[in-house]
Amino acid sequence: MAEKVLRKAESFYPLYERKGGAAPDVTHYCPGCGHGVLHKLIAEAIDDFGIRERTILISPVGCSVFAYYYFRVGNIQAPHGRAPAVATGIKRVYPESIVISYQGDGDLAAIGGNNILQAANRGEKISVFFVNNAIYGMTGGQMAPTTLIGQKTTTSPLGRRASNEGYPMRMSELIATLEAPIYVERVALTDAKNTTKVRRAVRKALKNQIENKGFSFVEVLSICPSGWKMEPTQAKEWLTQEMMRIFPLGVYKDRSDEIEEAGVQPTVFSAQDLQDSLNLPETDSASAKREPKTGVPEKYRNPRLKIAGFGGQGVLILGVGIAQAGMDDGYHVSWLPSYGPEMRGGTANCSVNLSSRIIGSPLVTQPTVLVAMNLPSLEKFEKDVAPGGLILTDSSLVDRAPSRTDIEHLGVPATKLADELGNTRVANLVMLGAYIAYTGVLDKDVVHSSLPRFIKRKALIDLNKQAIQKGMEFVSHQVKA
Amino acid sequence: MGVEKGLQVPKVVIREDECKGCGLCIQACPENVLFVQKHFNRMGYHPAGYQGEGCIGCGFCFYQCPEPGAITVYKKGYVGEEVEA
Ligand SMILES: Cc1ncc(C[n+]2csc(CCOP(=O)(O)OP(=O)(O)O)c2C)c(N)n1
Ligand code: SF4
Ligand code: SF4
Ligand code: SF4
């Protein structure tokens, strides 16, 4: 603290533009909330260590979900309880970064209980700041795993009872039993003396990471005046008198000094390495991959497909097939499945994009091609099809034409044709044949050479080729007729 | 004009508009030089205020305050930009 002034840290944004609203210069936290104080101690340490440019903070779900409004560092907001998993991924691909997992007690000890234990057990080289305020603050004061016996919350209105809800979980003690963590301490945001210890612990956990030593865990007992329904000053009393009895302060584990400071080998991301390790063909992924295939009418180019049917009709495989063949032919592709709630007899659909340009989103909300393998699929998706789009139906099962008149329709008796081959389950490939013959988007040869990549059973390859042939022939008869 | 020779008397500055009136700084001040003001600020809180003298620059209030920008403490010997009122 050699500085002669204590002021807002540089690692905070001067103005919280992401927060916006009427007061973009103050946090969203309640008066007295411990989150704000811990934010200040973390931001100050980031300033002092000069690590702002390489710090990545993972915000949790909970009151601190918006930590990214405030910290002028790299920010990612993780799903509930998953901050340690997200932190793991970032730290591993980017080991020179300083990764902070910031979590509340609902986030870390309830929904994310296993996540934190596994990350600690793996000894991920991250710093975890765990705000224990004995309650779910954000959602209005429900019981947390850390709620004290007898403590009244909205979900324990008569007070927590061990017989019904178990005992408060002591996460520091639990984590300290694991082999890998190098530093585990519990501190408390109460008076000046204890706050100094919080400050020291925050700095130590970050220093351990700067020195590439290992997993550090700091549990910070913190007041939640709103959730506890107390004035901030009264809340400090309660924390000191009640919480600290159940959650004793102290260092539960510290191997920091035994471990040699180590340098970090920075990763240099190389697209070539990725391509080599995935065994991908050489492409220039940043620019257009291919010219639109010649001879394809404008309206069929770069299709956005929705393919839907009963579970078991192979609609997902049909989508994979189109995407795989498209990829092998040099298109940018995406395939996104969506499963119905029921496993059997339910509906399934997938979204497929084939494009000569980079695909922004794999979602297909306005398909240019709808493949409806049954009636419910036609009913569900017909309205979404882009004007001028193409609807393919399995006319052996869908006994009506689409009701829209601003689209093009082709009925293909796919199931019946598949039956003729002795296997109704290849109706999907009959449809594939019809689709490519009708639009010209993919060549038969390309699809044939892609087949082994999406049809795993070798014995079925020939049958599938026949099915494609059936579909193609149907279209050519149709067109001639 | 900046503070060039080094501040002789420590000073605390509270930005009233950023204060949520939680009172934690007041509780923590060993010199009892902070107090609750009578008026409301723009957010409807009674902001904390400084009596104007007696601050020893200990920084206790700064480390109790949850609002990143509400309190600034200038210690004895501070050299730099002018200290706000
Ligand atoms: C998957 C999921 N489940 C539940 C919720 C609802 N939820 C939001 S915050 C929260 C608890 C947060 O409590 P805590 O981690 O203690 O943080 P605090 O708000 O007290 O800082 C819950 C259960 C959610 N957002 N997402
Ligand atoms: S509800 Fe509790 S934890 Fe959430 S901002 Fe308010 S005081 Fe802080
Ligand atoms: S710096 Fe210390 S003495 Fe000065 S106002 Fe803050 S708490 Fe009081
Ligand atoms: S601690 Fe901060 S927010 Fe609370 S009263 Fe003091 S200046 Fe205001």
Note whether A46 and A188 are same-domain residues: yes
Provide the CATH number for the domain around residue A373: 3.40.920.10
Which residue shows structure tokens 């998993």?
A: A85
The reply to whether A280 falls in a domain is no
Of B43, B68, B75, which is closest to A4 when you measure between CB atoms? Answer: B75
Q: Are A257 and A248 in contact (CB under 8 A)?
A: no
The reply to whether A2 falls in a domain is no
> How many Å lie between the centroid of ligand 1 and the Cα of residue A62?
4
Note whether A243 and A323 are same-domain residues: no
Note whether A197 and A307 are same-domain residues: no
Q: Are A145 and A169 in contact (CB under 8 A)?
A: yes
Q: Last residue of some domain: A196, A220, A254?
A: A254
**Residue A318 structure tokens:** 């049909």
Report how far residue A103's alpha carbon sits from residue A162's, in angstroms, rounded to the nearest whole number: 25
Nearby residues of A89 by Cβ (< 8 Å), 6 or more positions away? none
The reply to whether A266 falls in a domain is no
Nearby residues of A426 by Cβ (< 8 Å), 6 or more positions away? A314, A418, A460, A463, A464, A466, A467
Note whether A303 and A250 are same-domain residues: no
Q: Could you tell me which of A439, A429, A434 has the C-alpha nearest to residue A464? A: A429
The reply to whether A338 falls in a domain is yes
The SS3 of residue A475 is: helix
**Interface with chain A: mutation pick from B3, B4, B24, B40, highest number of A CBs within 10 Å:** B24
Provide the CATH number for the domain around residue A247: 3.40.50.970
Inspect the interface and report whether the beta carbons of A26 and B22 lie closer than 8 Å.
no
Note whether A309 and A430 are same-domain residues: yes
Supply the DSSP string of A164-222, one letter for each residue: HH-PPP-HHHHHHTSSS-SEEEEEE-SSHHHHHHHHHHHHHHHHHHHTT---EEEEEE-
Residue A285 φ then ψ, to 5° = -75, -20
> How many Å lie between the centroid of ligand 4 and the Cα of residue B21?
5
The reply to whether A181 falls in a domain is yes
Q: Last residue of some domain: A254, A278, A313?
A: A254
Note whether A334 and A401 are same-domain residues: yes
Strands ordered across the beta sheet of B71-74: A5-6, B71-74, B11-14
A337 DSSP β-pair partners: A350
> What is the count of structural domains for chain A?
2
Report how far residue A153's alpha carbon sits from residue A422's, in angstroms, rounded to the nearest whole number: 65
ipTM: 0.96
Nearest-CA distance from B26 to chain A in Å?
10
Note whether A190 and A339 are same-domain residues: no
**Domains of chain B (ranges plus CATH)?**
11-74 (3.30.70.20)
Q: How far is CA A346 from CA A313, A349, A369, in A?
A: 10, 10, 22
Note whether A323 and A465 are same-domain residues: yes
- Tens-digit pLDDT string for chain A (481 aa): 457 999 999 999 999 999 988 899 999 999 999 999 999 999 999 999 999 999 999 999 999 999 999 999 999 999 999 999 999 999 999 999 999 999 999 999 999 999 999 999 999 999 999 999 999 999 999 999 999 999 999 999 999 999 999 999 999 999 999 999 999 999 999 999 999 999 999 999 999 999 999 999 999 999 999 999 999 999 999 999 999 999 999 999 999 999 998 888 877 777 778 778 887 766 555 444 566 677 889 999 999 999 999 877 899 999 999 999 999 999 999 999 987 554 445 678 999 999 998 998 999 999 999 999 999 899 999 999 999 999 999 999 999 999 999 999 999 999 999 999 999 999 999 999 999 999 999 999 999 999 999 998 888 999 999 999 999 999 999 876 6
Could you list the residue range(s) of the whole structural domain that residue A378 is in?
298-480
Beta strands in A340-447 (DSSP E): 347-355, 369-372, 390-394, 408-412
DSSP state of A51: -
Q: Is the dihedral of CA A228, A231, A232, A235 positive or negative?
A: negative
Number of H helices, E strands in chain A: 18, 14
Which residue shows structure tokens 């009578």?
A: B38
Residues with CB under 6 A from ligand 4: B 14, 19-25, 48, 64-65, 67, 70-71
The reply to whether A262 falls in a domain is no
Note whether A136 and A213 are same-domain residues: yes
Nearest-CA distance from A20 to chain B in Å?
15
Note whether A245 and A307 are same-domain residues: no
Note whether A307 and A250 are same-domain residues: no
Report how far residue A193's alpha carbon sits from residue B63's, in angstroms, rounded to the nearest whole number: 10
Nearest-CA distance from A90 to chain B in Å?
27
Strands ordered across the beta sheet of A332-339: A332-339, A347-355, A304-310, A369-372, A390-394, A408-412
